[in-house]
Copies of this chain bind each other. A is one copy, B any other.
């Protein structure tokens, strides 16, 4: 049997528009029969943090960082025209109007379609995020480092850095 063509993405950004682009591509590729891996790192970790409950991190500095940089798919903002939330709200309204899934719904869809969702352990430490399964949504299947990403990328037809 022929091997499936692969799409691998590194998602460093935590901006709403880049999160949407990543999941649009992931779900479209999966529906085209491609194998998809998404590797979340730096601000991208915010996309796959749990929406509910705080993160229990040790030390004052880590606690402060996690408070400021709370994360969760429902807290993502546009990189431009956020305008104290108005721009982000308008875009979310237009997404509903045009029947576009929310990031939350996209994560669930991608997971159901077999997209692998991976959290980068190398950057968790420096972002003050405990590299534990408990930190992330249930759709996150793997915790791994940069070598894992490169291992996937070198066997992929298409690799994107988002």
Contact = CB atoms under 8 A, between A and B. Distances in A.
B100 A32 contact: no
Interface residues of A, number: 57
Contacts of A17: 12, 42-43
Contacts of A32: 147, 150-151
A126 interface: yes
Contact of A24 (B87, B146, B157): B146
Interface string A88-107: 00110111011010000000
Interface stretch (A64-72, A109-117, A134-142): A64-72
Given A80-B43, A161-B160, A126 B150 contact: no
Interface of A: 5, 7, 10, 12, 14, 17-18, 20-21, 24-25, 28-29, 31-32, 34, 41-43, 61-62, 64-65, 68-69, 80-81, 87, 90-91, 93-95, 97-98, 100, 122-123, 125-128, 145-147, 149-151, 153-154, 156-162
A68 B81 contact: yes
Contact of A126 (B91, B149, B161): B91
Contacts of A157: 153-154
